[in-house]
Amino acid sequence: MGRFLSDNFEATHQKVGTFQVVNGVKIGGNVASYFCLSDGTVIHAVAGPLGAKEFLREARWAVDLRKMAASEAGGDAIKYRLALRKGHLERLASENGLRLPPRALPAVASGPPPVPTSNEIRTKAGRALGNQGQVHTLLAYYPLPQLSQLYTIVFEDVLKEKVSTLPVDAR
């Protein structure tokens, strides 16, 4: 897994929540992983912790999705976003049984994508999805968002944690 990740990604981290460490045991907190392009746009995200096999599966899917989208788009930014949307819609349907018709989604236009909101996952259908289903819904509605616009929604609305800059409380 380490070789695949180092061959395909630049690893970084950012603490956005807080937790306590009591007697060496972490209490609270959560994790989200993002697979981004070099400009900080999100191809794929994972909400919550995963085992090594599952994480590698998601990383490989992100790489495959990016390659497929680039191949289908042929350099066209709108087609690239549409191909990414299609990938997330397929995962949403296959893993959650939810089929969102593309015509019900916002149009993909040239220029920067719209700023993501949590409206789509706050619906009855959205709340019934698991964490990953909610992430696929967000990325289907808002393909290729900036990480800076997405991480608060994933952390607070999907994972139900609070973004915080407070230091870790080690007791």
DSSP output for the chain: -HHHHHHH--------S--EEETTEEES---EEEEE-TTSBEEEEEES---HHHHHHHHHHHHHHHHHHHHHHTT-HHHHHHHHHHHHHHHHHHHH-----GGGSPPP-SSSPPPP-SGGGSSHHHHHS-HHHHHHHHHHHSSS-BHHHHHHIIIIIIS------PPPEE-
Question: What is the per-residue pLDDT for 113?
Answer: 79
Which residues pair with residue 163 across a beta bridge?
none
Question: What is the per-residue pLDDT for 16?
Answer: 61
Please check the confidence at residue 166 and state whether its pLDDT lies above 90. no
Which residues, other chains included, contact 55 with Cβ-Cβ below 8 Å and sequence gap of 6+? 1, 33, 46
Question: What is the per-residue pLDDT for 12?
Answer: 67
- Tokens encoding 25: 């045991």
DSSP for 9-23 reads: --------S--EEET
pTM of the model: 0.86
Closest CA to 141 of 122, 163, 156: 122
Question: What is the per-residue pLDDT for 14?
Answer: 63
Q: Which string of b and e fits 94-118 if b means at least 16 CB within 10 Å?
A: eebebebeeeebeebeeeebeebee
Question: What is the per-residue pLDDT for 4?
Answer: 81
Q: What is the pLDDT of residues 58-91, one digit of tens each?
A: 999 999 999 999 999 999 999 999 999 999 999 9
Torsions phi, psi for 117 (to 5 deg): -130, 170
Which residues, other chains included, contact 125 with Cβ-Cβ below 8 Å and sequence gap of 6+? 98
Please check the confidence at residue 163 and state whether its pLDDT lies above 90. no
Q: What is the pLDDT of residues 18-42, one digit of tens each?
A: 566 677 776 666 788 999 998 999 9
